[in-house]
Structure 1
């Protein structure tokens, strides 16, 4: 379903989110006080506007409260990030996601109204670390402190040539398989229980992080 997003801040994080949302067919208003950055995304975002997000009247004039989701991607200016999050909340924005620089910044953002706080640098570091220490986990996305989605490659015969019903990953590891990617790049979404897992298949699993790590340990 198409949604409307407002992205405040077009640094590396905000710009990448903007591009991904547009590619997914969503409506995006991109906002930054740097005219050069806005001009870069004039032909990418649905709308791109030069504005000082710390100016409450400017934010109100943009109708921020009418957007389904506001993403505050302000870079190094922690004070501005907190102020804009607070103003967006007071304007009645339904859902706010804010970028945090560190743990203390994240705590303040949550207190002033952010519904979700993201740590791009930390999260990327964790993803890279998991890829370095495991030959099975190709990618890893932390959904919360406890839950993750992981791409796990079937690299040994212990798991290959068996159906999902036979593997019974939910019973053995507490994990649900939400998709399978084959070597030919074919993607099987919501695979049935009788789908046979082949060597080098990549399973997209969701569950508690400790259970993902348990399965990875068993496969090694």
Structure 2
């Protein structure tokens, strides 16, 4: 199956951290920034990097942006450019458009434009967002340290009715389900006999690699 392709527009602190993490996760990333310096810094890291104005429709067309599965507008401090880039990406038919908001008002404008997801950098780190973008079942992702992660994973329909013993994340992947958030209650320190239902939320702790392996199993 073809892996999703991403474009990150704006390679500042947030955009570059998100783009690097997507690369780490094995995805192709096109980086776009007006700054030659920012482009040079990322040229050895990303799949493709271009110094270009993302508010120019012809430039975006020439880059084949409509073939990108998900474009993230991470423009630093220029609200007008952010809004224009988001409008163009939607008009050009990019499947999923995600945009960084600099304020609540900016976020409301982006939502009105039909942006699929609005990110507030104060609340969302680039690394966390990268993981959420590539896994539909990953609801939240927090690095506890360089090695350990805690993640929230939504239970898909195919795992409904399975017990934790059947899933056995500890033995198969090395990670532990420390809580199950059900619609009416939360089970803390669940036992092997506890049953999962569709849309339950599993709170999982483990190393980054363990979480990623378990996440892949849940999402497949």
Note whether the superposition's TM-score is higher than 0.5.
yes
Q: Which residue of 2 aligns with 1:181?
A: 206
Q: Which residue of 2 aligns with 1:104?
A: 105
Q: Which is higher, the Rg of structure 1 or of structure 2?
A: 1
Structure 1: tracts of 5 or more residues without a match: 132-137, 144-150, 191-220
Q: Distance in 2 between matches of 1:22 and 1:81?
A: 23
> How far apart are residue 122 of structure 1 and its match?
2.7
Q: Which residue of 2 aligns with 1:62?
A: 63
Note the 1:69-218 alignment, pairs <5 A: 69-123=70-124, 162-163=191-192, 165=193, 175-177=200-202, 179=204, 181=206, 189=214
Q: TM-score scaled by structure 2?
A: 0.62
Partner SS for 2:122 = helix
Q: Distance in 1 between matches of 2:27 and 2:191?
A: 39
Q: Distance in 1 between matches of 2:64 and 2:48?
A: 13
Taking a change above 3 Å as real, the CA distance of residues 186 and 20 of structure 1, as seen in their structure-2 partners, is closer
Q: Distance in 1 between matches of 2:91 and 2:67?
A: 13
Q: TM-score scaled by structure 1?
A: 0.62
Partner SS for 1:122 = coil
Taking a change above 3 Å as real, the CA distance of residues 36 and 66 of structure 1, as seen in their structure-2 partners, is same
Answer whether contact 2:32 2:50 (CA < 8 A) is retained: yes
Q: Distance in 2 between matches of 1:169 and 1:29?
A: 38
Taking a change above 3 Å as real, the CA distance of residues 77 and 140 of structure 1, as seen in their structure-2 partners, is farther
> How far apart are residue 186 of structure 1 and its match?
5.8
Structure 2: tracts of 5 or more residues without a match: 129-141, 143-148, 155-175, 180-186, 216-220
Answer whether contact 2:150 2:204 (CA < 8 A) is retained: no
Answer whether contact 1:29 1:48 (CA < 8 A) is retained: yes
RMSD, aligned CA = 3.5
